[in-house]
Amino acid sequence: MEQGTWGEAIPLRRGRGVGGGVVAVAGLPPNLGWHVTLFEEAPVIRVALGWMTHRHDCTLRGITERCHGGCCYARGGTYWPARVDPGPDGACAALGPTGCRLGADRPLCCKLYPLTMSKAGVLGRHWRTTLGTSCCAGNADHPDGPPTYVALESTFREILEPGEYERLVDAAMSGRRGAMTLRVRPGVLEALAEDDRARDADTWPSYLAAVPVRIT
């Protein structure tokens, strides 16, 4: 058990899990210590647990009946990567008649939406999704939608190390709040950083196998 006082930094390692314990804070009963997980050096992300149980109907039904794939349209230059080379109606260059032509190779930010990385480095739901004018209007917090951790299960399993999605689900279902640190697969942090660079430059991420060409 590590001991600390208020305001005292307690060094912890991040990355591949090697154990856990409780950090005791001087002046508090032992049962009020902070549970922590110790890690070796490895890539990690922090996920806002509070958003994981919010329902989000990003399903075929929700897309067909309400949002109509709104996040795949530039919407006046607001949405990236749709704004890189939008069609006359604002449609993303990668959007085809039956959905994204990039499929599983689409940018990581697209797979994670409506989640996005905050300036504090925490993955949570984008503030736009709560607005009545948002592309997600009607689907965000829809009672028929699955919890966000279920809606994005395939993406989480793609980016997280084995066993980490199960940890996320357990934590979300337990009612925990705050940010949870999770191990990610190699290349994930680099892809997120490249998404940020490409967004600022209004280009496609360099890791795409091929740059989408708009269908005219």
Please report, for the chain, the start and end positions of each structural domain, with discontinuous segments joined by +. Answer: 1-42, 43-201
Measured CA to CA in angstroms, residue 139 lies from 45, 147, 174, 175, 205 at distances of: 26, 11, 24, 22, 27
| pLDDT band for position 12 (cuts 50, 70, 90) | very low
Percentage of residues of the chain with pLDDT beyond 70: 81
pLDDT, tens digit, 9 for 90 and up, residues 63-103 = 888 888 889 999 989 999 999 999 999 999 999 888 899 99
pLDDT of amino acid 41 = 67
Token digits for 167? 């940890």
Check: CB of residue 134 under 8 Å from CB of residue 128.
yes
Q: What is the overall mean pLDDT for the chain?
A: 82
| pLDDT band for position 50 (cuts 50, 70, 90) | very high
pLDDT of amino acid 216 = 67
Check: CB of residue 1 under 8 Å from CB of residue 22.
yes
Sign of CA dihedral 83, 87, 88, 89: negative
Mean pLDDT, to the nearest integer, of 179-196?
95
Mean pLDDT, to the nearest integer, of 127-153?
86
Residue 175 has pLDDT above 80, yes or no: yes
Strands (E), 111-215: 115-117, 122-125, 179-183
Q: How many CA atoms lie within 13 A of 39 on its CB side?
A: 15
